Structure 1
């Protein structure tokens, strides 16, 4: 492929993704998103507590195999990069809390405490967030250290999303 074809293919490809383009990159100022609730262990969670950290907020359901795969990979990324001011927050959007409880029980048995990331149930009393209606599972929001949107992905994380995530840590 010559350079011209590559540039055209790249430009067309960017039109069909859900990523934030360079012209739309966040500017310093007020955070774009809020999230408050109680995690699966009863601990109060507020997105503001993670100010200064790159944050990946992932909306998922218990029975979604794509979600399970993405969260497995994101958990590995989280474990390797938590010391680099990175946090992963899972937001379960199942209608039935029993499904989240089963997920939580399985992950508590499967992973050591250092591999667990905060997870909340969106339907819980007192839960508030400004991420809007979620119509696709999974849906991921990558927020910079000021909690402004860097990337939104509806569906599975793509290889270039991992690049964006990695670059957001620097």
Structure 2
């Protein structure tokens, strides 16, 4: 197993820690672990590229851990801390479920995974900043989360364009 994949697995194992800390209302500690997971996401990708160790497992596991982190945290922010409305979680889930379905279709049809796009990374980072603000109960956290969700829709359209181009080229 590659170092990058080990880091990704470690990131996944830290998600319950963030959730537990939020349940205890230890927001600053939860934020520290949350940001560690987010920053190490960039690190594992960089390591995989530099060491030429990009794997199929990593292509599947890395975005899965990201999605699990955001959905888990947002769910707690809806139902436990009540910092965000349920409707925002629902709107957040729509493009991400669409991307998961697309990834499954690609995998089942033995097509290569679509590489991360700038729009997807921008959506993720705005979401991360918004969630961080919400953890700290700073102003504009909800606004940033709404913007991040909107960017997720744009990113989903970009991924759909790439997918349709791949389908057209394969025929």
User: TM-score when scaled to structure 2?
Assistant: 0.29
Q: Which has the higher helix share?
A: 2
Bigger relative contact order (CA 8 A; separation at least 6): 1
Higher strand share: 1
